[in-house]
């Protein structure tokens, strides 16, 4: 029995050592799990803060983009209005030039100038004929006829 008691004691010692190792491993695993949870919580909180910062930056970027789009739209409207005004002014000038330079108008002006030239020539011719006429005395007709 002595040998049996020693073996029981050995078994009890091994069981006790096994139980002690299990406790140690369990507490070590619990400690590691706790550390991992804390690290995970810290990473999640950092991730949430980073996400919040990214969302804020995204919101600011969208707001700036919206403002730029509004400014672009306004400048496009101003450009279009300026171009339309320039076209209207040019059309007015074009219409005025057309009215002034119509073929009939130019023809009438040329005809008037031609008639004035012909009238002057006619008066000169008549004056020359009068002067050449032998029936008139050169003293009675002024030689300075201005035409």
pLDDT at position 39: 85
Which residue, 24, 48, 74, sits at the end of a domain? 74
Q: Are 145 and 127 in contact (CB under 8 A)?
A: yes
Query: Residue 105 has which token pair?
Result: 């108008």
Q: Output the pTM of the full model.
A: 0.39
Domain contains 145: yes
Query: Residue 145 phi/psi, 5° resolution?
Result: -100, 120
Task: Please indicate, yes or no, whether residues 19 and 68 belong to a single structural domain of this protein.
Answer: yes
Domain contains 23: yes
Give per-residue pLDDT as tens, 61-101. 999 999 999 999 999 999 999 988 888 887 877 777 776 66
| Structural domain for 50, as ranges | 8-74
Torsion of CA 56, 59, 60, 64, to 10 degrees: 170
> Which residue reads 């002595």 in tokens?
2
Task: Please indicate, yes or no, whether residues 121 and 69 belong to a single structural domain of this protein.
Answer: no
Which residue, 23, 48, 74, sits at the end of a domain? 74
Choose between 110 and 33: higher pLDDT: 33
Give the chain's domain count. Answer: 2
Instruction: Please tell me which of 23-27, 56-60, 88-92, 118-122 the model is most confident about, judged by mean pLDDT.
Output: 56-60
Domain contains 134: yes
pLDDT at position 77: 93
Domain contains 121: yes
> Which residue reads 């369990």 in tokens?
26
Q: Are 97 and 91 in contact (CB under 8 A)?
A: no
Domain contains 50: yes
Which residue, 22, 52, 74, sits at the end of a domain? 74
Domain contains 61: yes
| Cα 97 to Cα 86, 89, 92, 105, distances in angstroms | 16, 12, 9, 12
Give the distance from CA 115 to its chain's centroid: 61
Give per-residue pLDDT as tens, 104-132. 666 677 778 777 877 777 766 666 665 66
Domain contains 86: no
Q: Are 147 and 120 in contact (CB under 8 A)?
A: yes
């Amino acid at each position: 029995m002595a040998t049996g008691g020693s073996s029981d004691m050995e078994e009890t010692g091994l069981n006790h050592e096994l139980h002690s190792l299990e406790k140690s491993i369990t507490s070590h695993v619990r400690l590691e799990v706790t550390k991992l949870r804390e690290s995970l919580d810290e990473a999640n909180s950092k991730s949430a803060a980073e996400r919040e910062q990214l969302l804020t930056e995204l919101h600011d970027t969208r707001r700036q983009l919206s403002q730029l789009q509004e400014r672009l739209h306004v400048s496009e409207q101003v450009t279009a209005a300026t171009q339309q005004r320039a076209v209207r002014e040019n059309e007015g000038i074009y219409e005025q030039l057309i009215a002034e330079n119509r073929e009939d108008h130019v023809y009438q002006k040329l005809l008037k100038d031609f008639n004035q030239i012909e009238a002057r020539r006619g008066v000169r011719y008549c004056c020359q004929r009068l002067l050449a006429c032998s029936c008139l005395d050169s003293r009675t007709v002024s030689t300075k006829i201005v035409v």
